[in-house]
Chain A
Amino acid sequence: MDDVKDKVIAILNDLTGEDFSDNLDENLYDSALLDSMGTVQLLLELQDELGISAPVSEFDRNEWDTPAKIIAKVEEMKQ
């Protein structure tokens, strides 16, 4: 499932301008790297690139706040 990981990191890199490969537990909201706009873009990109459809209400900030958690969520939803 490394494919998912690479894609999510690439999407996040696109959105925030930061590389999270070595920083998977950084909190995206506390550091203000992601806001509501970024979040929606993230959901749309995940939909386009990985084919998972996560509705906006699925998005609980506490469960999606680090790259590692996002990757775990996406992998769970792909199955």
Chain B
Amino acid sequence: MRWYIPYGNPTYFIWLALAIVPLMIGLLYGRRFRGYQTIISLFFLILTFGGPNWRTGIALIGYLAYQVILVAVYSKYRQRKASPNKGWPFVLAVILAIVPLVIVKVTPAIESGRQSIIGFLGISYITFKVVQTIMETRDGIIKEFHPVLFGQFLLFFPTISSGPIDRYRRFLADYDSVPKRADYLNLIQTGVRYVFTGFVYKFILAYIFGTVLMPGIEQRAILAHGFSWNIVAYMYVYSLDLFFDFAGYSLFAVGISYLMGIKTPMNFNQPFKSKNIKDFWNRWHMTLSFWFRDYIFMRLVFFFMKHKVFKSRVTTANVCYVINMLIMGFWHGETWFYITYGLFHGCALVINDTWLRYKKKHQDVIPHNRFTEWFAIFLTFNVVCFSFLIFSGFLNTLFFGPSKF
């Protein structure tokens, strides 16, 4: 038996196709074989977390047990009759839910790159699912806790390694039902198209940018010592590789979910066509940015406005933008370049809003035509690519890394 990263190579897809055909036949005939789905889920989880990766498999099992118990205890507190719904048990539950992730993220930063033994592929994505479940339980929107369904939600294998990040209530509604045949046929059609577009993105375009072009440019940039145009070339090539690699992966995850009759939300919507940074975050890694919008940004705004912390609405929004994106930076990892990336996007959102307000106020003098729209897209694309250059960590290698030559 060999061991696989999800969607990493053609053999994985052959296994996938073989495993989901019975499930698809069931769905076509109005039945969802949940037992069978659980068995193939376990099979694919073992392909990724077994064999030489067995330690991460143990970490995953431990993590799962810990989170299920945590959410069960909090649900019990919250769902009993006349629950006081105090703030502190909620805050405590959220902190306990993110503790494992914090340990995994901080360990390499303080132990010179050594990985934590409790880490596994996809831990940061599962943590989002746990935290949102706790938040919606606090709000009384999730009224019942089923450990098994919760486990199915967390471990849904097509999205386990890198999302897209689904929502518990949305997932459950799909999992509990069988789509109508006409709808399911549409899902199959779209799902297959997604998977094949994913092949083009990940195995052709990302390969060209990431594997063919990038190493040469990287070498030349390092040999140039200091600034050179190679850094600019690297910035574009890295950004395109990042997009096609991640969007390709996401298309696989969404496409396979569709074939299984689960409408996992889409992750990308032509992000390089964005007219401004806000527009960009509505199109790039959407399930992540919407998660941050719904569970961090809006809640912060709600809290600040309710307690009248800041006088103006503008200040409230700006403070929340920066906090929101900084947390996203920390989530990516504890390095200066991830945190700077977060701060950069927080500030970009503040500038973006300020400009839009100014533009609205002076709309009679500021031109708006096809040219300015193209310019806006061009500018946004370059700002975004620059942020990815920060994100890539390449500047760190170039200017602060150990000298290789």
Which residues 24-45 of A have a CB within 8 angstroms of B?
Answer: 36-37, 39-41, 43-44
Residues of chain A within 8 A of B139, CB atoms compared: 55-58
On whether the beta carbons of B136 and A57 are closer than 8 Å, the reply is: yes
Main secondary structure of the interface of A (DSSP, over half): helix
On whether the beta carbons of B301 and A37 are closer than 8 Å, the reply is: yes
B 14-54 to A, binary, CB cutoff 8 A, 1 in contact else 0: 00000000000000000000000000000000000000000
On whether the beta carbons of A57 and B302 are closer than 8 Å, the reply is: no
On whether the beta carbons of A40 and B135 are closer than 8 Å, the reply is: no
B273 contacts partner chain A, Cβ-Cβ < 8 Å:
no
B317 contacts partner chain A, Cβ-Cβ < 8 Å:
yes
B376 CB to nearest A CB, Å:
15
On whether the beta carbons of B317 and A57 are closer than 8 Å, the reply is: no
Q: Which residues of B contact A (CB under 8 A)?
A: 135-136, 139-141, 293-294, 297-299, 301-302, 305-306, 313, 316-317
Q: Which of A36, A44, A57 is in CB contact (< 8 Å) with B306?
A: A44
On whether the beta carbons of A55 and B301 are closer than 8 Å, the reply is: no
Residues of chain A within 8 A of B293, CB atoms compared: 36
For the complex, give the distance between the alpha carbons of A58 and B302 in Å: 13
Residues of chain A within 8 A of B306, CB atoms compared: 44
A-B contact count (CB 8 A): 35
Main secondary structure of the interface of B (DSSP, over half): helix
A31 CB to nearest B CB, Å:
14
Which residues 46-68 of A have a CB within 8 angstroms of B?
Answer: 55-59
On whether the beta carbons of B141 and A57 are closer than 8 Å, the reply is: yes
For the complex, give the distance between the alpha carbons of A79 and B271 in Å: 43
Residues of chain B within 8 A of A41, CB atoms compared: 305, 313
**Interface size band for A:** 10 to 19
On whether the beta carbons of B135 and A43 are closer than 8 Å, the reply is: no
For the complex, give the distance between the alpha carbons of A41 and B308 in Å: 12
Can you give 29 A-B contacts (C-beta < 8 A)?
A36-B293, A36-B297, A36-B298, A36-B301, A37-B313, A37-B316, A37-B317, A39-B298, A40-B302, A41-B305, A41-B313, A43-B302, A44-B302, A44-B305, A44-B306, A55-B139, A55-B140, A55-B141, A56-B139, A56-B294, A56-B298, A56-B299, A56-B302, A57-B136, A57-B141, A57-B294, A58-B139, A58-B141, A59-B298
A54 CB to nearest B CB, Å:
9
Residues of chain A within 8 A of B298, CB atoms compared: 36, 39-40, 56, 59
For the complex, give the distance between the alpha carbons of A44 and B302 in Å: 8
Specify the chain B residue showing the minimal Cβ separation from A56: B298
A8 CB to nearest B CB, Å:
19
Residues of chain A within 8 A of B136, CB atoms compared: 57
For the complex, give the distance between the alpha carbons of A5 and B298 in Å: 25
A55 CB to nearest B CB, Å:
4
For the complex, give the distance between the alpha carbons of A40 and B301 in Å: 7
On whether the beta carbons of A40 and B141 are closer than 8 Å, the reply is: no
Specify the chain A residue showing the minimal Cβ separation from B137: A57
A49 CB to nearest B CB, Å:
14
On whether the beta carbons of B135 and A57 are closer than 8 Å, the reply is: yes
Specify the chain B residue showing the minimal Cβ separation from A44: B305
For the complex, give the distance between the alpha carbons of A59 and B299 in Å: 12
Residues of chain B within 8 A of A40, CB atoms compared: 298, 301-302, 305
For the complex, give the distance between the alpha carbons of A58 and B139 in Å: 8
